[in-house]
Chains A and B, each alone.
Chain A
Amino acid sequence: MFELEKAIVEWRQQMLAAGIKTPVPLDELESHLREEIQRQMKSGLDDQAGFNLAAQNIGGADALREEFGKVGDSMSARQRKFNIIFCRVVAVPLGLCGVTLLFRSFGNSPGLSFHERLSVSGAFVSVALILLSWQFSYRCFPALSKRTRIIVAFLCSVLSALCVVLWVDLVLLSANTVGQFAAAVVGMMIPLALAASIIFGLEEAAYRMGVRTKFLHK
């Protein structure tokens, strides 16, 4: 003898076993299942046939889990907006600093030689350009899974930190003049900006790819 409530409990267990989370979205799916069963029964089916058809219509657990998995996979639109604004807010003043310094070097510039000013200015502008570059270079990046992106982000952070340490040791501490020191300090930001640009670029590539989740129909 078919028992509807028992069948629904079993259906829930199957969904849970496949990795559909509770209470959201499983409760929502169950609510849908119950309404569909009701509708099928109203149209003349018995509870067993109604349940089978409703469960079939709602889709398989694996396919559902895959689609739900994509929801949290790429960053939200808000996070993306933040990334863009953050990079612009940081890059624009740095770029302006670089350009201003270059022009001021032609005037009265005690302390720094022309070459030193050029180095500092170049470092400022490079950092600014690197920070802005991911908004265009994401096209060359692959759309990776969230897990892979986290690993890449971690490696980038470690590598850039390592670069900074080496930079301090090899360049900063051996700076003889104020100008060399200034260029070394600004230059230190380049590996950090590179790491940020790669991380943001990968996020953007994944976001662009995931904007349209594949929406299957029968």
Chain B
Amino acid sequence: MYVVVMLAKELVAASTEPLILSLLSRGESYGYALIQEVKRLSGDRIEWTDGMLYPVLHRMEREGWITSRWGKSETGRKRKYYSIKEDGKKTLKAQREQWGGVSGVFKQLWKEQYV
């Protein structure tokens, strides 16, 4: 049976903001779609407690990284859409450099050790 190795809690916590920013940099989206997209892209390794995404989104909006608007879903129900702002793009760029730095170190180390 295929066992999915879940990501450690701390790693999920640290990657949440850059993940949201990266997804929103591809275009406007809403909470539910963001969660589904992260599940899909991570092969179910990253699983958020659904409701907990919203406080993070609200805090990021308060920081001025993203903005929101109420729109309508395909079924006509109201839905809150989020999009990235200039400050968010700058933050994403800085976070990308940090994650790239960490990932680069691991790549080098693990290549040397033939893992």
Chain A interface (Cβ within 8 Å of chain B)? 24-25, 27-29, 31-32, 34-36, 57-59, 63-64, 67-68, 70-72, 76-78, 212-218
Contacts and interface: CB of A to CB of B under 8 A. Distances in A.
B14 to A, nearest CB: 7
Given A57-B49, A64-B55, A217-B7, 20 more contacts: A31-B30, A31-B80, A32-B32, A36-B32, A36-B50, A57-B50, A64-B51, A68-B55, A68-B58, A71-B59, A71-B62, A77-B63, A78-B64, A212-B13, A213-B59, A215-B13, A215-B16, A216-B9, A216-B52, A217-B48
Contacts of B54: 25, 28-29, 32, 64, 68
26 contacts: A25-B54, A27-B80, A28-B54, A29-B51, A31-B32, A32-B50, A32-B54, A35-B32, A36-B50, A58-B50, A59-B50, A59-B51, A64-B52, A67-B55, A70-B59, A71-B55, A71-B59, A76-B63, A78-B64, A212-B13, A213-B56, A215-B56, A216-B49, A217-B7, A217-B47, A217-B49
B77 interface: yes
10 residue pairs, one from A and one from B, having the closest CB atoms: A59-B51, A67-B55, A58-B51, A215-B13, A35-B32, A59-B49, A71-B59, A57-B50, A58-B50, A71-B58
Interface residues of B, number: 30
Contact of B58 (A25, A34, A216): A25
Contacts of A76: 62-64
Nearest to B62: A76
Contact of B14 (A32, A71, A212): A212
A13 to B, nearest CB: 16
Interface of B: 6-7, 9, 12-14, 16, 30-32, 46-52, 54-56, 58-59, 62-64, 73, 77-80
Nearest to A64: B51
A215 B79 contact: no
B35 to A, nearest CB: 8
A76 B71 CA distance: 26
B15 to A, nearest CB: 9
Nearest to A54: B50
A189 B2 CA distance: 68
